[in-house]
Amino acid sequence: MFVCLWCWAAGPLLELLARIWLDALGANPQEEILRGLGRQILLILWLVLLLPVLNRAWWPGILQSRRMLGLWAFAYALIHLLAYAQFEHDATWQPLLEDAFRRPFVTVGLLALLLMVPLAWTSNRRSMLRLGAGWKRLHQLIWPIVGLALLHYALHKSGKNDYLEPAIAAGTLLLIVWLRRSRRGSSRRGTLEGE
């Protein structure tokens, strides 16, 4: 199970590297790279939020993959930032920082990435033991990260008058939240009925 999810998470990056090597990225390779990385970040974040539902309903034990998937999301986000810095600013950081104050979608994306740093830093057994209950509180940052990632995506797409994909992403997120809440409610009812 763990290996399957690891391969699923790594697959788009390997595919992207192969397409770069084969010069098979189409007419706008920069756009293809940035959008492909961004889509994978959203997919992984959505899956991380869905894991508790899958764990309770269909796939016991899958919750153990949450930290690994979170680290993959962080890795994709870093590569996404580096690709943006390279394509837009020739890997010079001063213009990127100016973008952070000038272009809202960049501001929001950078903020989401910054919030991911403490989660990636503490995604290990030692941090869990050291932080205790604080570890779970810290990792509730996943919710603002997901909100900012969705907003980043919507702001970028709105510049191109494309609202369909962000609407689908938002609808999927709402479905995941509903599934989490309904599963939590049914678990509580089952516990009360068993008492």
Cα–Cα distance for residue pair 42/169, rounded to 1 Å: 8
pLDDT band at residue 12 under the 50/70/90 scheme:
confident
Average pLDDT, the chain: 88
Query: Residue 151 in contact with residue 115, Cβ under 8 Å?
Result: no
Angular region, 162: left φ>0, alpha ψ -120 to 50, beta rest: beta
Q: Which two tokens stand for residue 131?
A: 């932080």
Q: Which two tokens stand for residue 102?
A: 């000038």
Cα–Cα distance for residue pair 160/113, rounded to 1 Å: 23
Biggest CA pair distance of the chain:
63
DSSP string for 1-56:
-HHHHHHHHHHHHHHHHHHHHTT-S-S-HHHHHHHHHHHHHHHHHHHHHHHHHHHH
Q: What's the mean pLDDT in 179-187? A: 73
pLDDT exceeds 70 at position 185? no
pLDDT band at residue 187 under the 50/70/90 scheme:
low
Query: The domain containing residue 185 runs over which residues?
Result: 2-194
Q: Which helix (H) or strand (E) holds 61?
A: none
Rounded to a whole number of angstroms, the CA Rg of the chain reads 18
Q: Which two tokens stand for residue 126?
A: 């030692």
Q: Which residues contact 37 (CB under 8 A, 6 or more apart)?
A: 16, 76, 79, 80, 83
CA distances, 22 to each of 15, 16, 29 (Å): 10, 10, 12
**Encoded amino acid at 124, one letter:** N
Least confident of 56-70, 71-85, 110-124, 143-157: 56-70
pLDDT at position 175 is 95
Q: Which two tokens stand for residue 141?
A: 């940052």
Count the domains in the chain.
1
pLDDT band at residue 105 under the 50/70/90 scheme:
very high
Cα–Cα distance for residue pair 15/9, rounded to 1 Å: 11
Most confident of 14-23, 24-33, 145-154: 145-154
